[in-house]
Chains A and B, each alone.
Chain A
């Protein structure tokens, strides 16, 4: 047993390198050829299939599964990539139980959907492992488009614009491209550096220049509008919401997104510190990703506390079950009121919540405390450093139709734009659709129906 396993405070090395390696393996290992054939055989090839309707990028799922079943997985991959160039990552991180697989008619038949996500990964992994890039660029248009942010929305937008013959420059604030794919998801969902490999593969189309630059710090929207024929904003959400609980400033009270980012970027997990008693506040995917990974790093007790009912958690049921299976405890209907400690957090005090007739919450007098030497905030992110001239909607960039902002020639998509579900797949759809609209705007060509 590791010496540090039960050490108090936030310390590294609670588990051995061997244990850590075992904990952070691929959470959903890829299907082999035989498994893929068996899984593909279960697809009914539905008419006007509900899974396609449920997919934000409208991938023709019955078609690609039939292509797998008939021994042409590369054709299946092309069916996927035509609709969703980040189909590889979406196959790993999509909450499929809420999307395609949740809509699968097999759910109604026997409560066990076709493994659409796993099949999508099978097809896309196979094609991406081959040399070269399968899409060709159209004849050059001479038009130049700036894309702000190299996350899912920006990459999807840039790829489609490049395919249509435009020259694209992506400005990325962080050292690496990929956005939340690189910095924001649990590492066991995209092992072996998949996020960077996917970016490299997407850029393989050519015509896309990647540059460092943060809007508001290194570049201005005004300058981009002057230098480029069109601008797409896909920089995500830079800010993190505060708890608004007393004592929040104490040591070891952190943003879950920072923890997830540091874990993803760590070259040696044994050097990554984690508490013995970890509390995560929030109910979304970020909360689950942080809590599960804290547990996998060796925290003894990990508790997610969410202020509303379990059914209202942003994390899907599948994610919640994954958390509890890993040993994470989930407490619902409680909100933090005070962070106790002496310099660093020692305990967190919660009040149970009650729902008002208008749907709002109020804190009851019923309180409890949880021991905590590490506390993660996972209660949502907010737009940070947005140019003042852009009209907002609900704290995000307001958009109409396929991502048109209030400023002509400027489009937006992904988490920074209003109206999305904060999912990789919706960001891809928005980036792609904005690219189609930008292309139509720049060239007068008709919009291609995606999918």
Chain B
């Protein structure tokens, strides 16, 4: 049976599934329940400086996007960092870590952007027994207005500066949590590495308005008739997170920098995808907030099954897809596929036809008896029919063999060639 034990920048946990710094990790009661349920680690909800704690709104904190049957696809929140006194949090962290020495316990931190504040908070957490710190440079609402959170994460120079302070004043492993609310995630990651970060974690939440109340004409969640943008998370953000993780994993300047993947991890499969793109651990919030802590048990059994069935160790999985993430101009323009509809599986809904006929290439014929067939002469292999088909595996893409005639172009399939050498590319270099 596959060994899921994780050693992430020296932080050990029985499995790579951690709870992200968020409401589920705000206090001892919740974290104990999480550990009892089987979570490998938690990142304790972000601590601020000593003094009067922040205050939260007293109206709704969350907005939601639902799929069919009210399945939660995305949640946004306007909650701030912990609103409990620092000493209470520190006491609880110490107690929990003492009782669960085998679990990872990382403390998330966010204090004003000056050296003294950071030196002070690091001194305060020193004797909790925690395994590491995570610098919250990602929170996009509330705290950013006060010059913290994503206000720091959006300026690579600040990231580097603060990370350097943390490494100077603490011997704890340091994870820098990145905001996705930037144009190029490689820049903050590079800054974190320059500052001495042991790892990055991403993504934090995305600036968002989940919906507008069409009676109140205000964003939701609505507080006394007004709404503020919040941070978006959950399954809906996973594609954005995967890309950002991959960008950092394949960037020469950050390649090899350990990554803790965050963003819509809901099942073992989501976790495995993050890991294949280079994440050593994953952090979860929305899935737990939607279904409770028990979801980790499916993640554990699922990842184990997958590794066993592929005869892989977890280390074989981590980063395995990174070499296959490339730039568009490296894609093989001579790779030709054609959609193929399995008539035995087809339920004759015609969605492939509507999609192709109305919005694509008129490459599906609707024949008497509602028989839908691909017209290979027109099919550009865009994949849309497969994507909208409600029946799994009913439509697949058949790869044309080398030399086989592509009925659309009338030409035989050629060996690999990409845009960099294509005749239509004014910048093309002659093939060597």
Contact = CB atoms under 8 A, between A and B. Distances in A.
Contact of A109 (B350, B366, B370, B391): B391
A37 B391 CA distance: 22
Nearest to B67: A41
Contacts, number: 34
B348 A50 contact: yes
B404 to A, nearest CB: 31
B37 interface: no
A218 interface: no
B69 A37 contact: yes
A46 interface: yes
Given A37-B69, A38-B69, A44 B390 contact: yes
Contacts of B366: 47-48
B370 A50 contact: yes
A47 B349 contact: yes
Contacts of B349: 44, 46-47, 105
A45 interface: yes
A49 B70 CA distance: 25
B347 A47 contact: no
A106 interface: yes
Contact of A47 (B68, B353, B390, B391): B353
Contacts of B348: 46, 50, 105, 108
A41 B69 contact: yes
B69 A46 contact: no
Interface in A59-116: 105-106, 108-109
A146 B221 CA distance: 58
A46 B350 contact: yes
B387 to A, nearest CB: 14
A49 B353 CA distance: 12
Interface in B115-160: none
B343 to A, nearest CB: 12
B351 interface: yes
Contacts of A41: 68-69
B354 interface: yes
Nearest to A108: B347
Interface residues of B, number: 14
A72 B366 CA distance: 32
A48 B353 CA distance: 10
A106 B347 contact: yes
B351 A44 contact: yes
Nearest to A44: B349
A44 B68 CA distance: 12
Give the residue among A46, A106, A108 with the most B Cβ atoms within 10 A: A46
A352 B393 CA distance: 50
A105 B354 CA distance: 15
Contacts of B68: 41
Nearest to A110: B347
A36 to B, nearest CB: 12
Interface in A306-323: none
Contacts of A109: 347, 390-391
Given A105-B347, A105-B349, A109-B390, A47 B354 contact: yes
Contacts of A37: 69-70
B350 A47 contact: yes
Contacts of B354: 47
B195 to A, nearest CB: 48
Interface string B391-408: 100000000000000000
Given A109-B390, A109-B391, A48 B350 contact: yes
Nearest to B348: A105
A41 B67 CA distance: 9
Contacts of B391: 109
Interface string B367-389: 00010000000000000000000
Nearest to A62: B349
B391 to A, nearest CB: 6
A49 B347 CA distance: 12
Interface in B315-373: 347-351, 353-354, 366, 370
A365 to B, nearest CB: 46
Given A109-B390, A109-B391, A47 B351 contact: yes
A45 B347 CA distance: 13
A16 B70 CA distance: 44
Contacts of A46: 348-351
B370 A45 contact: no
B358 to A, nearest CB: 9
A381 B374 CA distance: 50
Contacts of A106: 347
30 contacts: A37-B69, A37-B70, A38-B69, A41-B68, A41-B69, A44-B349, A44-B351, A44-B390, A45-B351, A46-B348, A46-B349, A46-B350, A46-B351, A47-B349, A47-B350, A47-B351, A47-B353, A47-B354, A47-B366, A48-B366, A48-B370, A49-B350, A50-B348, A105-B347, A105-B348, A106-B347, A108-B348, A109-B347, A109-B390, A109-B391
Given A37-B69, A46-B348, 15 more contacts: A38-B69, A41-B68, A41-B69, A44-B349, A44-B351, A44-B390, A47-B350, A47-B353, A47-B354, A48-B350, A50-B370, A106-B347, A109-B347, A109-B390, A109-B391
Interface of B: 68-70, 347-351, 353-354, 366, 370, 390-391
- The 7 A-B pairs of least Cβ separation, nearest first, read A47-B350, A47-B354, A41-B68, A108-B347, A105-B347, A46-B349, A105-B349
